[in-house]
């Protein structure tokens, strides 16, 4: 009896008919007249090639699916804890306040703070915010916040001298993960509201972050999303005013003032910058100076020393 090679699995479209009288296969299509062994080798090669193509397509599809889910970082993936401002530049003797915020940009509570190296900056915690006073020059000061197992850092550079070089960025806030800052606009001045709106473009839409003049975040919201709409002034400014560049590095008398400074000390600083104060204002416990596009408000306590000062960047 004529023996035939063991059968192999091939696509239905390539099923062959066998001529028992000759012992040769009569394949359909372009395989006509080839010996059995040659036909089988060819068919095996074609089957493997098709299997390789299908495997390659499946692998590529799997990679594309994986990238589509792991390659994009949405604003909802913002860190559970962030210290703001993220970076700051200070002069020896200056003070700056930081806060730790959650995914919604709002203040986190029960936060523990640490500063390193301790000899370069003095740390004071008031409520849920941390204030550091620059004591020695250093380019590697790190302020760390801890809350519920989360941690975040801010880096601070302390320089010597009476003033920072022109163009020095006094503070900055890192964009949300996967996002890019597109515009910073001035907020309508208010007692406890934001001074600056920072709009960011993210893979899942646009967000607005409300900041104080010294870089502390108050809240963040998604524009046009299901959350509460952003402050009207953000959209109103877009529709009625051209985009304006806010100079965050602008220096003012506010940057030279620190807590505990006396009225005489503040007055001398103001005179050095050719700023004048009326007698009636001098007798009050709140002084206001305006220079360039900055308004500085200073509050004095009963002892006649500075207890708080606020810098607001204003525009026409």
300 has a pLDDT exceeding 60: yes
Start and end residues for every CATH 2.60.40.1080 domain found in the chain: 77-240
Q: For residue range 133-183, what is the model confidence (pLDDT) as tens digits?
A: 999 999 999 999 999 999 999 999 999 998 888 888 899 999 999 999 998
Listed in sequence order, the residues at least 6 apart from 8 whose beta carbon sits closer than 8 Å to its beta carbon are: 40, 43, 44, 47
3-state SS of 144-156?
A: EEEECCEEEEEEE
Listed in sequence order, the residues at least 6 apart from 297 whose beta carbon sits closer than 8 Å to its beta carbon are: 286, 287, 288, 309, 310, 312
Of 235, 239, 233, the C-alpha closest to 188 is 233
In angstroms, rounded to a whole number, what is the distance separating the alpha carbons of residues 293 and 251?
Answer: 10
Of 88, 84, 147, the C-alpha closest to 120 is 88
**Cis omega (within 30 of 0) for bond into 117:** yes
Q: Are strands 87-91 and 150-159 parallel, antiparallel or unpaired?
A: parallel
pLDDT attached to residue 20: 44
Q: Could you give the strand order of the β-sheet that contains 306-313, starting from the edge strand earlier in sequence?
A: 286-291, 294-300, 306-313
pLDDT attached to residue 145: 97
Of 220, 223, 210, 203, the C-alpha closest to 104 is 220
> Is 137:93 a contact under the CB 8 Å cutoff?
no
Q: For residue range 11-53, what is the model confidence (pLDDT) as tens digits?
A: 444 444 444 444 444 445 444 444 555 555 555 556 666 666 6
Q: Mean pLDDT of all residues in the chain?
A: 75
Mean pLDDT of 228-252: 46
In angstroms, rounded to a whole number, what is the distance separating the alpha carbons of residues 302 and 60?
Answer: 72
In angstroms, rounded to a whole number, what is the distance separating the alpha carbons of residues 186 and 196?
Answer: 5
220 has a pLDDT exceeding 90: yes
To which residue do tokens 């479209």 refer? 13
Q: Tell me which of 65-79, 129-143, 204-218, 267-281 is least confident.
A: 65-79
Thinking of the domain 253-313, which architecture would CATH place it in?
2-Layer Sandwich (3.30)
Mean pLDDT of 259-279: 82
To which residue do tokens 């009207």 refer? 232
pTM, two decimal places: 0.54
Start and end residues for every CATH 3.30.1450 domain found in the chain: 253-313
- Tell me the CATH number for domain 77-240: 2.60.40.1080
Distance between start and end Cα atoms, the chain: 104
pLDDT attached to residue 310: 78
To which residue do tokens 């089988």 refer? 40
Of 247, 223, 244, 225, the C-alpha closest to 235 is 223
73 has a pLDDT exceeding 50: no
In angstroms, rounded to a whole number, what is the distance separating the alpha carbons of residues 156 and 97?
Answer: 12
Q: Which two tokens stand for residue 5?
A: 């090679």
Alpha helices in the chain (DSSP H): 36-70, 232-240, 263-272, 279-283
pLDDT-derived band at 306, boundaries 50, 70, 90: confident
pLDDT attached to residue 234: 45
Strand partners, 138: 158
């Amino acid at each position: 009896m004529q023996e035939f090679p063991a059968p192999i699995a091939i696509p239905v479209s390539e099923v062959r008919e066998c001529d028992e009288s000759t012992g040769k296969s009569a394949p359909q299509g372009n395989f006509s007249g080839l010996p059995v062994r040659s036909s089988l080798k060819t068919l095996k090669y074609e089957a493997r090639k098709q299997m390789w193509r299908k495997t390659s397509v499946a692998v590529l599809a799997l990679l594309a699916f994986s990238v589509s889910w792991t390659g994009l970082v949405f604003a909802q993936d913002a860190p559970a804890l962030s210290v703001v401002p993220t970076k700051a530049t200070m002069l020896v003797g200056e003070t700056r306040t930081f806060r730790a915020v959650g995914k919604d940009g709002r203040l986190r509570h029960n936060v523990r703070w640490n500063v390193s190296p301790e000899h370069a900056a003095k740390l004071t915690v008031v409520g849920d915010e941390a204030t550091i006073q620059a004591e020695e020059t250093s380019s590697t000061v790190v302020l760390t916040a801890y809350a519920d197992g989360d941690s975040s850092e801010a880096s601070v550079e302390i320089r010597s001298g009476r003033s920072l070089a022109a163009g020095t960025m006094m503070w900055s806030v890192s964009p949300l993960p996967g996002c890019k800052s597109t515009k910073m606009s001035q907020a309508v001045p208010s007692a406890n509201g934001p001074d600056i709106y920072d709009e960011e473009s993210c893979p899942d839409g646009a967000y607005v972050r409300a900041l104080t003049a010294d870089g502390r975040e108050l809240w963040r919201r998604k524009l046009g999303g299901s959350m509460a709409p952003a402050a009207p002034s953000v959209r109103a400014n877009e529709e009625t005013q051209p985009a304006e560049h806010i100079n965050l590095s602008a220096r003012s008398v506010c940057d030279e003032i620190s807590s505990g400074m006396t009225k005489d000390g503040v007055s001398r600083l103001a005179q050095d910058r050719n700023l004048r104060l009326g007698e009636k204002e001098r007798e009050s416990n709140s002084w206001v100076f305006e220079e360039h596009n900055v308004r500085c408000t200073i509050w004095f306590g009963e002892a006649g020393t500075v207890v708080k000062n606020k810098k607001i960047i204003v525009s026409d």
